[in-house]
Chains A and B, each alone.
Chain A
Amino acid sequence: MSVFSDPRWSEALAHLPDYLGNHVRVSVTALALGLLVSLPLAILSRHRPIMRGALLGLASIVQTVPGLALLALFYPLLLALAALSLSWFGFGFSAFGFLPAVLALALYSMLPVLRNTITGLQGVEPAILEAAQGVGMTERQSLFMVELPLALPVMMAGIRTAAVWVIGTATLSTPIGQTSLGNYIFAGLQTQNWVFVLFGCLAAAVLALAVDQLLALIEIGIRERSRLRAALGGIGIAALVAATLVPSMARWQSGYIVGAKTFAEQYVLSALISQRLRAAGFSASSREGLAPM
């Protein structure tokens, strides 16, 4: 039996829409949130050296925390917050899965975006800034008409780095209950299914490479002032996001979801129950890795 006729490949492939969709969703949300926080902060700090130093220092410290630890830290933190919100405002939220993963990954994405935005803005020639003032621009007009457009290529390079980091680190969000391509890796490790481990690694790498190349296309488009390339890159990213959103939307109609914890017997049980349900004519899917570590 050759390596590729192994039935585990097709089994892994069957999980791909679910895992990939979740992975892309959590990564994109985290990156968007990271940008939403980092970009205004970087712009605000461009004339404030102390704030700039503090921001970069903080972001660097976050970067030194191992990805898994950062993700794990958000779980108890949110648990406490959810309890507080329940007692104060009468509603709680899940401290598990999507939310902690997004928050931790967003924090993780901040350093390259902050650093490159600050560097890019500082790299604008003083003579150009003076010209902007001289032709009668207000400070805001100078920022939006001159400084940001000129800093954009450097900023894009930072966003690219952040995207690759987030996509890579998102595989570690499986243990805190967020389905991702890491599910292949963690499940594979526990059941000694090396095909799964390999598949997960490959899928995450391919996704990271694809997103990196699409963003590179936008970056080059901006640098060379080629509208076509930037548009192609943008369309590529939009298509990727749409492709991973659509099947997961369709899957919402699934009748039963069988949960399982992260150890071998649980996997066996959930698979058995799912099979029985399907045999009885119900739609069912299994969701593994429901509990943290």
Chain B
Amino acid sequence: MWITAIAATIQLIAAIGKGRVGLVDWTRCDSPNVMTAAPPLIAFAHVGKSFDGGRGATPVVAVNDVSLDVAAGELLAIVGGSGSGKTTLLRLANRLIEADSGSITIDGEDVRKIDPIRLRRRIGYVFQSGGLFPHMSVADNIGITPRLLGLSAAEIASRVDELLDLVRLDRTQHRDRLPHELSGGQRQRVGVARALAARPRIVLMDEPFGALDPLTRDALGDDFRDLHRKLGLTTIMITHDMTEAILLADRIAVMRGGKLLAQGTPAELSNSDDPYVGELLRTPRRQAERLNVLLPRDGAA
């Protein structure tokens, strides 16, 4: 890309030495994890985080004493409204935000002891509405983390093709396109491919399917669920949509006002006596019932 060439020239002009990071840190996972009573892969223990509310304002408590375990191979959905602290909790896991109190461990290792740059290269992150770099082609976007890890161009190219197949995008048709030439669903597929590029064991997803139309959203959700199983990933997915969480996740954690209200499988949650959790679960059911009444049944189904 000539744009990177220009960037490199500016780099030279500014006479700033370039510190290339050449570490290759594949955390491969060739066989899917078998769910056992193994220690949790990701563990939040009494985690707290508050933000400075600006001049004179009282600090806003975003995450309040949250303890949550995610087992290897699990797909956990964190459900909550805006301001519930769910996104903050997710960002604490790869140190996009630093926790004030408590500890977060990944595979038994405290994240504060891991260099944040290395940590983030080991963990896939899917951003809301893609977060793709608008000046880079689809291939460059997908290959960014392997490139940062110092892989050769040939290795990156073959990995990119592999990933395009994996997220079911046509190689020749999409590889050289720019993000703005893609549909919302395609962009999000690229976002997922980018998160998986460095073969992470853990994927964090921040409302990944929130901005998509229902059909695309459904297809992508199913596709990701398959990928999660096939690659043996451990995934934390943020969503405000309880229906989506029930359909995709193994377990659901409900957050409100920075606190973890309840966690468990959908069936376990339905036994919760928390009124907010009850309301969250009733809504999709009520909608389903109303839909059944309003939509005439299709005889073939």
Q: Nearest Cβ distance between residue B84 and chain A, in whole angstroms?
A: 19
A207 to B213, CA, bound (A): 54
Q: Nearest Cβ distance between residue A144 and chain B, in whole angstroms?
A: 5
Interface string of A118-151 (1 = CB under 8 A from B): 0000000001101111111110110011101110
Q: Nearest Cβ distance between residue B195 and chain A, in whole angstroms?
A: 8
B94 in the interface (beta carbon within 8 A):
yes
For B194, the closest partner residue in chain A by CB is A135
Interface size class of B (residues with CB under 8 A): 35 or more
Q: Among the listed B2, B3, B21, B145, which residue makes an inter-chain contact with A135, where contact means beta carbons less than 8 Å apart?
A: B145
- CB contacts (< 8 Å) of B94 on chain A: these are 134
Q: Verify B7–A134 contact, CB threshold 8 A.
A: no
Q: Nearest Cβ distance between residue B148 and chain A, in whole angstroms?
A: 5
Q: Among the listed B10, B118, B129, B131, which residue makes an inter-chain contact with A134, where contact means beta carbons less than 8 Å apart?
A: B131
Q: Verify A128–B134 contact, CB threshold 8 A.
A: yes
Q: Verify B96–A128 contact, CB threshold 8 A.
A: no
Interface of chain B residues 130 through 144 with chain A (CB within 8 A): 131-135, 144
- CB contacts (< 8 Å) of A251 on chain B: these are none
- CB contacts (< 8 Å) of A144 on chain B: these are 7-8, 10-11
Q: Verify B135–A150 contact, CB threshold 8 A.
A: yes
Q: Verify B120–A39 contact, CB threshold 8 A.
A: no
- CB contacts (< 8 Å) of B151 on chain A: these are none
A133 to B2, CA, bound (A): 23
Q: Which residues of B contact A (CB under 8 A)?
A: 2-4, 6-8, 10-11, 13-14, 16, 18-19, 21, 94, 96, 117-118, 120-121, 125, 127-129, 131-135, 144-145, 148-149, 178, 194, 198
Sample 17 A-B pairs with CB under 8 A, ordered by A number. A39-B10, A39-B13, A127-B127, A128-B131, A128-B133, A128-B134, A133-B96, A134-B96, A134-B125, A135-B120, A135-B194, A136-B145, A140-B16, A146-B133, A149-B3, A149-B4, A152-B3
Not counting A127-B129, A132-B133, a sample of 17 additional A-B residue pairs whose C-beta atoms are within 8 angstroms of each other reads A127-B131, A128-B131, A131-B127, A131-B131, A134-B94, A135-B144, A135-B194, A138-B21, A140-B18, A144-B7, A144-B8, A144-B11, A146-B135, A149-B3, A149-B6, A150-B135, A152-B6
